[in-house]
Amino acid sequence: MKIQLTTQGSKKVRQGYPLIQKEDLAKGEMTTDWVELTSPQGDFLAMGYLGKQNKGLGWVLSDKKQAIDENFFVRLFQKAKMNRQVYYQDQTTTAFRLFNGEGDGLGGLIIDLYQDYAVFSWYNDTLYGKKATIIQAFQKVFPEVLGAYEKVRFESQLPESQLLYGQTASEPLIVQENGINYATYMNEGLMTGIFLDQKEVRGALVDGLASGKTVLNMFSYTGAFSVAAAMGGALQTTSVDLAKRSVPKTKEQFSVNGVDPETQNIHVMDTFEYFKYAKRKHLTFDLVVLDPPSFARNKKKTFSVAKNYGELIEDSVNLLNQNGMIIASTNAANVSPKQFKQMIEEAFLAKGVSYKKVKSYALPSDFATIATFPEGDYLKVYCYEVKK
């Protein structure tokens, strides 16, 4: 089937932009078939598909006229596997991203590896409808994967998480990253217990960044940064998260690494409440890690990285020791690296402290991105030395 794009939409596709948006469609019709995208004049532009997802209405698959069939997916998966040989060869890391959507040539599907298990995340119903072919291709290229789970990340009546094929994984499933154990769960809602895009930051904490320091980990989730810091020789860690489940989850992350959780602090608390609490108790830290969600709503306050990150920095500076460090992280795609840096540094200036950016991190190579889709390159992590 042929789908006509507008002049503007055609221009975007010709420039290599992979996402199709509503305004790019000349006629607005939808289909679940693979499509040939054409210009208003009817010239072939690319192969693709239409599928409504959180952002956008479809994806470009190839600028060559070709069949989108099992062989097409086999080739994509083979290439993705080849590009991740560093991770396959690294005996100390058993969890990483196998396939990163548009970055690997197929927007709408992400696949992560957790030891012997794969987790598929589907972002639209059209691709989900093609899953038999896609799984067949995947199993040809990754026969060593014992079982797979799927997460449904589009609006539907389907369960958000279920076994897709093969064997079930143990609960927890212990995976390794930079030699550290992490307890993960393949079938508990959309999240598994670890965000694989932060592996280099956790690696730096393990490798000495936290050594001899007291560490405050804000928005700690399952405490992965705290565990990496503790394993890297931190004097003590404090983890703060609003969610009650974060306590047993964080304790478990310490336990699976042989660290007694009772030697660490874990608080179920709103971050801004914790800042006040710590001030009252005169608690101070050498290293503060800030990795909030892009948006968060709680009873009193809506937090957004774009608006409120500076407050987090200012409040963190208050709790820092004289020579401290802040690891400022965000996954907000709507905040550019430049804007993020500016928000952080304005907050330092407002507090009258001197600062130096000593290291920055972006997505690791398993989170493949393409230059023509800069919003896919969402992760920004900056380490600042701060002198009070």
The string of DSSP letters for 357-373 reads: EEEEE---TTS---TT-
> Interface with ligand SAH by CB under 6 A: which range of 127-135, 167-175, 235-243, 345-353?
235-243
- Which C-beta is closer to ligand SAH: that of 74 or that of 247? 247
Q: Verify binding: residue 241, ligand SAH, rule CB under 6 A.
A: yes
Q: Which of 120, 154, 225, 361 binds ligand SAH (CB under 6 A)?
A: 225
Cα 227 from Cα 251, distance rounded (Å): 10
State which of positions 141-200 bind ligand SAH (CB under 6 A): 195, 198
Q: Verify binding: residue 271, ligand SAH, rule CB under 6 A.
A: yes
Q: Which of 102, 150, 270, 315 binds ligand SAH (CB under 6 A)?
A: 270
Q: Is the peptide bond before 159 cis (omega within 30 degrees of 0)?
A: no
Cα 139 from Cα 116, distance rounded (Å): 13
Looking up tokens 């059209």 gives 126
CA distances from 137 to 72, 134, 143, 163 (A): 9, 5, 10, 18
Kindly state the smallest distance separating residue 331's Cβ from ligand SAH, in Å: 9
Q: Which of 49, 219, 309, 355 binds ligand SAH (CB under 6 A)?
A: 219
Q: Verify binding: residue 382, ligand SAH, rule CB under 6 A.
A: no
What is the dihedral sign for C-alpha 327, 332, 337, 343? negative
CA distances from 318 to 279, 280, 309 (A): 8, 12, 15
> Letter for the amino acid at 99?
F
Kindly state the smallest distance separating residue 163's Cβ from ligand SAH, in Å: 24
- Which C-beta is closer to ligand SAH: that of 187 or that of 246? 246
Q: Verify binding: residue 316, ligand SAH, rule CB under 6 A.
A: no
Cα 303 from Cα 300, distance rounded (Å): 10
Q: Which of 3, 127, 224, 278 binds ligand SAH (CB under 6 A)?
A: 224
Q: Verify binding: residue 298, ligand SAH, rule CB under 6 A.
A: yes
Angle at 79 between CA 75 and CA 83, to 5 degrees: 170
Q: Which of 74, 163, 283, 296 binds ligand SAH (CB under 6 A)?
A: 296
State which of positions 276-295 bind ligand SAH (CB under 6 A): 291, 293
Contact residues for ligand SAH (CB under 6 A)?
Answer: 195, 198, 219-222, 224-225, 240-243, 246, 270-271, 291, 293, 296, 298, 303
